[in-house]
């Protein structure tokens, strides 16, 4: 059983998977490696990926992001647990802004965010999962297009699949 959990942690390569291994096998054959992987993943610098497509490089103008909707398509939560999600913007802002609040997701759930975000372009936000054991995992990264319109992005992370939809407009415009 230990070898199976270890191979699963290696395949997933997430803080939650290695932490789960450590909680089940604190003195296990791979405990030292698992602890090193957790430390490395938590200390890794955040790299914000540029999406493929026609998104321009940041214009430096203020843009408005609204009507963010996150819909779960596939949820394989470890040990049947729901995902607890929050957003983290490249300016450091977190939503929900209380550090311990998250949106719980089961398969098929949606989260319509009513808050309007006004930020300087380029804007990037991460959909993050809070794990009870081991901190946070990134589900995916959204590099917000600065051209007004409605955008949709599918992201697969930590064994789950989500569809993110959002609107972009120039700040001060509806």
Q: Same domain, yes or no, for 91 and 127? A: yes
Tens of pLDDT, residue by residue over 53-93, are: 444 445 678 889 999 999 888 776 555 567 788 888 888 88
Please report the pLDDT score of residue 172 as a whole number. 58
Q: Is residue 20 part of a domain?
A: yes
Q: Same domain, yes or no, for 84 and 127? A: yes
Tens of pLDDT, residue by residue over 150-162, are: 988 888 766 678 8
Looking at the predicted structure, is the pLDDT value of residue 128 above 50? Answer: yes
Please report the pLDDT score of residue 142 as a whole number. 86
Q: Same domain, yes or no, for 104 and 27? A: no
Please report the pLDDT score of residue 55 as a whole number. 42
Q: Same domain, yes or no, for 123 and 66? A: yes
Please give the average per-residue pLDDT across 95-120, as a whole number. Answer: 84
Q: Same domain, yes or no, for 75 and 120? A: yes
Please report the pLDDT score of residue 48 as a whole number. 41
Q: Same domain, yes or no, for 119 and 38? A: no
Please give the average per-residue pLDDT across 129-146, as a whole number. Answer: 75
Which residue did the predictor score with more confidence, 7 or 79? 7
Please report the pLDDT score of residue 170 as a whole number. 74
Q: Same domain, yes or no, for 91 and 157? A: yes
Q: Is residue 150 part of a domain?
A: yes
User: Buried b / exposed e across 98-131, counting CB within 10 Å, b at 16+?
Assistant: eeeebbebeeebebebeeebebebbbbbbbbbbb
E strands, the chain, in order: 62-74, 83-89, 94-95, 103-105, 110-113, 117-120, 123-131, 135-144, 149-157, 160-170
CATH number of the domain residue 137 falls in: 2.60.40.150
Q: Is residue 37 part of a domain?
A: yes
The boundaries of the domain holding residue 23 are: 2-43
Look at 55-59, 112-116, 129-133 and tell me which has the smallest mean pLDDT. 55-59
Q: Same domain, yes or no, for 110 and 35? A: no
Specify which of 75-79, 98-102, 116-120, 139-143 reaches the highest per-range mean pLDDT: 116-120
Q: How many domains does the chain have?
A: 2
Burial, 165: exposed, middle or buried (Cβ in 10 Å; 0-12, 13-18, 19+)?
A: middle
Q: Same domain, yes or no, for 36 and 69? A: no
Q: Same domain, yes or no, for 98 and 37? A: no
Q: Is residue 142 part of a domain?
A: yes
Q: Is residue 155 part of a domain?
A: yes
Q: Same domain, yes or no, for 102 and 38? A: no
Q: Same domain, yes or no, for 130 and 158? A: yes
Tens of pLDDT, residue by residue over 13-47, are: 777 778 788 888 989 999 999 888 877 776 654 44
């Amino acid at each position: 059983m230990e070898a199976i959990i270890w191979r699963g942690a290696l395949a997933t390569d997430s803080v939650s998977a290695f932490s789960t291994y450590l909680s089940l096998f604190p003195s296990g054959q791979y405990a030292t490696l698992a602890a090193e992987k957790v430390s490395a993943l938590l200390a890794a610098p955040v790299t914000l990926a540029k999406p493929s497509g026609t998104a321009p490089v940041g214009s430096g103008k203020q843009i408005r992001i609204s009507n963010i909707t996150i819909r779960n398509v596939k949820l394989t939560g470890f040990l049947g647990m729901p995902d607890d999600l929050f957003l983290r913007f490249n300016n450091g802002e977190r939503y929900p802004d209380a550090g311990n609040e998250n949106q719980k997701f089961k398969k098929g759930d949606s989260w319509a965010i009513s808050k309007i975000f006004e930020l300087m372009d380029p804007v990037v936000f991460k959909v993050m999962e809070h794990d009870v054991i081991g901190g946070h995992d990134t589900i995916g990264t959204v590099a917000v297009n600065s051209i007004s319109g409605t955008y949709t992005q599918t992201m697969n992370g930590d064994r789950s699949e989500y569809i993110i939809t959002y609107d972009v407009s120039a700040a001060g415009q509806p």
